[in-house]
Structure 1
Amino acid sequence: MRRVTAPRSVRSRRSFDGSAVAVATSVMNVATYGFTIIAARVIGPSEYGAFAACLSFLLVVQVGALGLQATAARRIALDRGHVAAIEKAILRLTAKVSLVVGLVMLALVPVINRLLNLDDLLTATIVALTVVPLTLAGGQAGVLQGERRWRALAVFYLAGGIPRLVVGTSLILWRPDATTALLGVGIGFLFPVAVGAWFLRHRRTPELVPAEHSARAMLLESVLNAQVLLAFFALSSADIVMARHVLTEHDAGLYAAGLIMTKVMLFLPQFIVVIAFPDMATPENRKRALRHSLLAVAGLGLAFVLAARVLSGLAMVFVGGDEFGEVEDLLWVFAVLGTVLAMLQLQVYAVLARQGRRTVLLVWAALATVVALGLRTDSVIGLVGVVVAVDAVLLVVLTLASLRIARTTPPPPVTSQLPT
């Protein structure tokens, strides 16, 4: 029996909703980046150093929220018959994890204060409390993503960026210091939580939760997901730490400026990962979703690499200006690095979608290789060349593994029903 595909109107609506997510994530990233730039100019270098350290810490802690999000999205996309039960269980688990993590962070306030060299327990306390809404938002986003509620997710992402820019800027203009800037970030995280609660307020009465979707099973999966994401974030951030050790202070500053281009290329195609993940979790759609997504990220990256090469002078405006002019000729290399990392991020989420256990060892191995080779370099081009080479090899290995696994997946049963 021939499989019936969705009508053109359904496909068009899905395309429009996917575009809404693309626009929303772009606005969120621009707003987040904009507030960071404004904060750097308003609060000054010394205060901004403390603020940047707090943001880096939150980026690491965020892997817990992203682990919950991946768990929720994968399970809902894969088991459409128990959506209500999974939604109820994951939101309840997210609330408990948020509370526990918040209490642990509060107990570690003195450690956070010492680790980040803040000399301010109030700032460290705000960091600890910010983890609570950050974690709550992860579970909510996962439910919306797994249910493919793209318009709701688009609003959710907008709420994650615009309020931070507006509230945060207002606060630092009133009191320009790191504590107030971080308070703006914390308050900003409350808005997506409120939006998520609103969209998830009407819940269907769930049946009995199957054993495979128990709180223990989902917590274990979330921890494993967080470990994989931690490996990726460590890999994508190790070079800036090494730059502080192997390069002069001046060259380390140039490398940090070039990494602004890398981070732009890493987060620009984030919407592709968000939209593709539920399909990558389903065996019948996995190969197509991965192939199309990789091509989309590669195409977008190629366009920006060429732009960074041809319009390097214009790109320098966003990287740091004339003060960092020595790195201009290398901007296209940093754009290549960002593109490779974006494709790697997609592959990492493909691993999470199929719940690969051994593949994460390759990411940790790549991190060890980057550190071992990177510590032997003594120039900006040498360090970025090593990172690009190692990341590219890892990307090829993961791509071949993913395509091989997708090829051996049993074909889906024939159905005459329209996709829901």
Structure 2
Amino acid sequence: MAVMNIGTYAFQMVAARLLGPSQYGAVAGMMALLMVLSVVQLGLQATAARRIAAAPEDVAAIEQTILTTTWRAAIVLGALALAAAPAVWWLLRLDGLLPAVLLALCVVPVTVMGGQAGVLQGERRWLPLSLLYLSVGVPRVVLGGACLLVSATEASAMLGVLAASWLPVLIGSWVLRNRVHGAIVTEHDREVRRDVRRETYSSSAALLAFVALSNLDVVVARNVLDDHQAGLYAGGLIVTKAVLFLPQFAVVILFPSMSTAGESRAAVLRGLAFLTALAAACVAGAYLLSGLALVFIGGNDYEDVQDRLWLFACLGGLLSILQLLVYAGLAKRGRWTKYLVSAGVLALVVAGALAGSVTSLALTVAVVDLVVVALLVALQVFRGRRGMETLVG
């Protein structure tokens, strides 16, 4: 996962350097929308991992349902995104319609990869899952960078992302090639299948709210700031994404434990302690080594945002903690998690629309994220006390 995140970060860095602030702002907006459009990927992965870890006796029905639903959902989402391509073209002020079409096509392989990863994560098959993650990051920077070197345009960047997105699907299909189960015939298996689909919808809704909260600020920036300022904000978000993605392995490894009775509370506490310490270190590093950080986000073209890179690191730290808390809620199939995060999305869009500078927008996002984190921590404390009272009773 570290290599995957470095590859993803490196692609952003290459794009920022070759395209410049104005065009890179558009590419960053498309990558943010890709995360939002492919949220079912995360829902499928979370559902598969949780159900397989929590109910290994139903693994056959769960896996068959997940792998079948994955391809169907990918095709439907890809078609919807393709239909919405003209709206994306207008919203992000792209150079043409082609980048938006390529963005829509990326949704299909990204969604399929989520279902495959969820099966491997739930079974705790870390080596095959590692191969899957490696095939996400490395090809993106290699193929995406090559396309940008040939032609430094928005369309070239998305063409590279599209080509790279199919490699993890091919590897996942190969790893799971013998995963063929018999037809579901018992009433119990049918009920498991229905429940898996319901949980997938619910998990996708909660994760959609998180993905929107962690990505829509760059879209807001594209609409409330001029092209140069929006590009500077997108450059600062490279630091945010680096801090967010750096400890993502912790969430992946802890999620099966958070879904298992008796391990959940300890897993959440370990995760919060680790992520808080790492976030503090990253903020300090971005403040003390802002010159070095500037090199990695695109060089002197982005020097106007150098003195605020620590603030973007703070955003990444808050989002990493928020991500853990969202998955902790999914592990318990809680409903309030998605409501609280959705309220945060609404607050971000409304308050962000009032921002007039890079700093004011970043501070607005930080306040919204901090409030949502505090509410989710309070929700975890409430669930823990209620669980203890039930146990004692």
Q: Which moved more, 1:163-172 or 1:184-193?
A: 163-172
Q: Which of 322, 328, 331 is the matching residue for 1:350?
A: 328
1:310-349 map, 5 Å: 310-349=288-327
- For each residue in 1:143-192, what CA deviation from the matched residue of structure 2 results, as whole angstroms up to 9, or x when unmatched? 11111111111110001111222233334434544333322211211111
- For each residue in 1:299-352, what CA deviation from the matched residue of structure 2 results, as whole angstroms up to 9, or x when unmatched? 111111221222222222223434444433332232222111110111111111
Paired with 1:302 and 1:125, the residues of 2 have a C-alpha distance of 40
Change (3 A) 1:376 1:99: closer
What corresponds to 2:281 in structure 1? 303
1:31-180 map, 5 Å: 31-42=7-18, 48=24, 51-118=27-94, 120=96, 122-180=98-156
One-letter code of the match for 2:320?
A
What corresponds to 1:278 in structure 2? 256
How large is the Cα RMSD of the aligned pairs?
Answer: 3.0
> Is 1:269 matched up with 2:247?
yes
C-alpha deviation, 1:259, in angstroms: 2.6
1:198-209 map, 5 Å: 198-203=174-179, 205=181, 208=186
One-letter code of the match for 2:258?
M
Asked if 2 retains the 8 angstrom alpha-carbon contact of 1:89 and 1:213, the reply is no
Change (3 A) 1:100 1:238: closer
Asked if 2 retains the 8 angstrom alpha-carbon contact of 1:98 and 1:132, the reply is yes
Change (3 A) 1:325 1:167: closer
What corresponds to 2:337 in structure 1? 359
One-letter code of the match for 2:189?
P
> Is 1:395 matched up with 2:373?
yes
Change (3 A) 1:160 1:212: same
Paired with 1:108 and 1:391, the residues of 2 have a C-alpha distance of 29
Q: What's the secondary structure of 2:377's corresponding residue? A: helix
Asked if 2 retains the 8 angstrom alpha-carbon contact of 1:68 and 1:142, the reply is yes
> Is 1:213 matched up with 2:192?
yes
One-letter code of the match for 2:123?
E
One-letter code of the match for 1:87?
E
One-letter code of the match for 1:211?
R
C-alpha deviation, 1:271, in angstroms: 0.9
What corresponds to 2:169 in structure 1? 193
- For each residue in 1:110-143, what CA deviation from the matched residue of structure 2 results, as whole angstroms up to 9, or x when unmatched? 5555555556555444333322211111100111
Unpaired runs of 5+ residues, structure 2, are none
Asked if 2 retains the 8 angstrom alpha-carbon contact of 1:64 and 1:226, the reply is yes
Change (3 A) 1:75 1:411: farther
Paired with 1:385 and 1:410, the residues of 2 have a C-alpha distance of 38
One-letter code of the match for 2:52?
I
Change (3 A) 1:211 1:345: same
Paired with 1:336 and 1:318, the residues of 2 have a C-alpha distance of 17
Asked if 2 retains the 8 angstrom alpha-carbon contact of 1:102 and 1:132, the reply is yes
Paired with 1:56 and 1:145, the residues of 2 have a C-alpha distance of 25
Q: What's the secondary structure of 1:160's corresponding residue? A: helix
Asked if 1 retains the 8 angstrom alpha-carbon contact of 2:50 and 2:255, the reply is yes
- For each residue in 1:340-366, what CA deviation from the matched residue of structure 2 results, as whole angstroms up to 9, or x when unmatched? 111011111111111111232222222
TM-score by length of 2: 0.87
Q: Which moved more, 1:401-410 or 1:358-367?
A: 401-410
Bigger Rg over Cα: 1
C-alpha deviation, 1:262, in angstroms: 1.7
Q: What's the secondary structure of 2:263's corresponding residue? A: helix
One-letter code of the match for 2:291?
G
Change (3 A) 1:324 1:49: closer
